[in-house]
Amino acid sequence: MSRTLVLVRHGQSEWNLKNLFTGWRDVDLTEQGVAEAKAAGEKLKARGLKFDIAFTSALKRAQRTCQLILDGVGQGDLNTVRDQALNERDYGDLSGLNKDDARKKWGEEQVHIWRRSYDVQPPGGESLKDTGARVWPYYLHDLQPHVLAGGTVLVAAHGNSLRALIMALDGLTGEEVVGMELGTGVPIVYRLNADSTVASKEVLA
């Protein structure tokens, strides 16, 4: 019984590089992002991990990361489910703006609150709590059953959708989770107990 869940934040995107708020905007990986995704695949292959199913978001930076990882472990044709429940947090009116320009417009403190608070929404967008409200039910109904049935499941998604998921898995508070940094292309390997609690967690940095 494997009961293994692997979470990977997508590799560096074009807008990560340009310091832009991305959210639901559909941008691709940079060359570095492609290299990060391939490296994640190599790390997982070195661990002998084989997946039963993969999940990713409706955005191509996560989908491409997912595919590069699966290619790397020799499972390029694996059944992959795409769902916007795993999309990045929607930054609303901030989407497409340079983070430095946003600080000039609204002030350093306000932009920090929008980026790093748990339940404050940016204008027209989602808070991390809102993101969790779509991620958690999706995990319980669509992802977790595969893991608890003994499977090995890959999730390639985004910084904030994965933060919300890790918050639930690790039992973190809203204050604890907002300070957590997730590296691009870094696999996090969870093994679950039969009762869905976490048996072990390993970050393959």
Q: What is the mean pLDDT of residues 5-22?
A: 94
CA–CA dist 73, 188 (Å, integer): 16
Q: What is the mean pLDDT of residues 171-194?
A: 95
Assess whether pLDDT exceeds 80 at residue 72.
Answer: yes
Q: Nearest 5 degrees, angle CA 166-CA 13-CA 97?
A: 95
Q: Any idea which residues carry the catalytic annotation?
A: 10, 88
Positive or negative CA dihedral for 129, 134, 135, 136? positive
0.85 cut: is pTM over it?
yes
Task: Work out the burial of residue 64: count CB atoms within 10 Å of its CB; fewer than 13 is exposed, 13-18 middle, 19 or more buried.
Answer: buried
Q: Residues 124-136: pLDDT tens digits?
A: 999 999 999 999 9
Assess whether pLDDT exceeds 80 at residue 1.
Answer: no
Q: Residues 137-176: pLDDT tens digits?
A: 999 999 999 999 999 999 999 999 999 999 999 999 999 9
CATH class belonging to 4-203: alpha beta
For the chain, which residues make up each domain, given as ranges? 4-203
Q: Angle, nearest 10°, between helix axes 128-138 and 159-170?
A: 70
**pLDDT class of 17 with cuts at 50, 70, 90:** confident
β-pair type (53-56, 4-9): unpaired
First-last CA distance in the chain: 25
Task: Check residues 81 and 1 and name the one with the higher pLDDT.
Answer: 81
**pLDDT class of 116 with cuts at 50, 70, 90:** confident
* Sequence-distant (≥ 6) Cβ neighbours of residue 53 within 8 angstroms: 78, 79, 80, 81, 146, 151, 153, 154
The H or E element that residue 56 is part of is strand 53-56
